[in-house]
Each structure stands twice: as structure tokens, then as C-alpha cells.
Amino acid sequence: MLQNDTLARNPLNALGFDSDAGLLPGQFGAILARAGVGKTAFIVQLALNAMLREQNVLHLSLNEPVDKVTLWYREVFQHLAADLQIPQAGQVWEALLPHRFIMTFKVEGFSVPKLEERWTDLAAQGIFTPRVLIVDGLPVEADSRPLLTQLRQLAQQRETPVWFTVRTHRHEPREADGLPPQLTGIADLFRVAVHLDPEGQDVHVRVLKGLPEGADSSNLMLDPATMLIRKGVSPA
């Protein structure tokens, strides 16, 4: 009941994430933003949303050690627990931990076969079977297509949706379809693209691609103090 109440109040529902990870198995989603804007905080909230639904999340980090990623999860959950006034938050946190596994790679040492090998070992030993994959810190650009195609084949085989963080840069021109240049030539691989757009002290959450019919992201933002996703003040 507690998890149901927490999920019902989750503003991620406004983006259509009302089941599992917001993507179907094998589909890709991207969280795009400049450095320091809140990509990791956002994607950790997506992971916690899946974990609250008892979905196992494999968090693949290519730029942070395990202890730093663990701290991100703890801090975001603490803010979420305080914001939603979750009773017995410590017990809820402990219940969530078995649904998360953090795996790290050096960017230059990452390959899909290496990921597949470690993924297979986890499952074969009965340690962890992911239902959602988070990829944080992988350089995603137009020339990433061969690697992303391999990764999508793996995700489809394992029936696992994948969320990526994608770093953009200030003052880059958008493509004709409104997407940033990082997705040029590879946009077809992504079912959903969400951009974190800073304006002054605010960070707006804008869905560039894949907003479900009837969903509305026009007034979603990241709280600058907690980095939680919240509904902003609707325009008059």
C-alpha cells in the first residue's frame, strides 16, 4: 500500500511513466542535459520508480565509482522520502536495495560483449536478473550507432528497457526535428528523449520525443535544492 501511495503521487506519472520503466522491453530512452544540470539525479529517480515497482535495476556507470553512485541513490531517496512524508523510510530503503545492482566500467574499456559477459555471470549465479538498464556516462553521438545497435540487440534479447544520460553543450543549434545534435543520425534508436533545460534558477523538464498521448510535461521541473522532479506553477 505504501509503495502504491508513493507511486500515485509521483510527478513522473505526468510523463506517462505509470508502469515499469516508462519504456517497453528493448526500447531506448535518453535524458539529455549539459554537465551539472541534473541528468544523474533524474535518471536515479527513474530507477527508484522502477525499484518501487519491484523491478530489478542494473545501473551501469562509466564515469563514477560505486560509492559515488550509491550516494546519489541515498540522497535522492532521502529527499523523496522527506518530500512524500514516507513513514518508516529506513525500512523502505532497505527493501529497495535488493532491486539495484551497480556496475562500473572505464569509458575506454567498455564494450557490449564485456557487458553481456558480466550480465550473464550475474544471472547464471542467481545474483541478479535486471529488468531495467541504466547507462550513465556513455558518450552518445552520431558515430555511436554501431555500439548502440549492439546494445539494443542485447536489450531486446534480455527484454530490458534502457535509459541513457546524454551530455549536451551550451548554445548548440537544434536539428529541424527539435533534437540536439548528439542524436543526429541515431534518433530512430530512441523511443523517448527528455531534455533538462535550465532557465535562470529553474530547470525545466521537456519531452522532445515520445510523450505518451494525453500526458503533459509543460510544467514539470527539477527542484534546484533537492533535484527532485516536481510540478511547477501552471501558467495563468
In order of their start, the domains of the chain are 2-231 (3.40.50.300)
pLDDT at 227: 86
- Averaged pLDDT for residues 181-209: 90
pLDDT bin (cut points 50, 70, 90) of residue 1 is very low
Measured distance CA(22)–CA(25) in Å, rounded: 10
Q: What is the mean pLDDT of residues 27-38?
A: 92
pLDDT of residue 234: 45
pLDDT at site 236: 40
Q: What percent of the chain has pLDDT over 90?
A: 53
pTM, whole model, 2 decimals?
0.90
Q: What is the DSSP letter of 200?
A: T
Q: How many CB atoms lie within 10 A of CB 109?
A: 8
Task: Name residue, grid cell 529527499.
Answer: 79
- On the question of pLDDT at 42 being above 80, the answer is yes
Pick the more confident residue, 69 or 233.
69
Residue 11 has pLDDT above 70, yes or no: no
Q: Is the pLDDT of residue 131 over 90?
A: yes
Q: What angle do CA 17, 127, 189 make, to 5 degrees?
A: 40
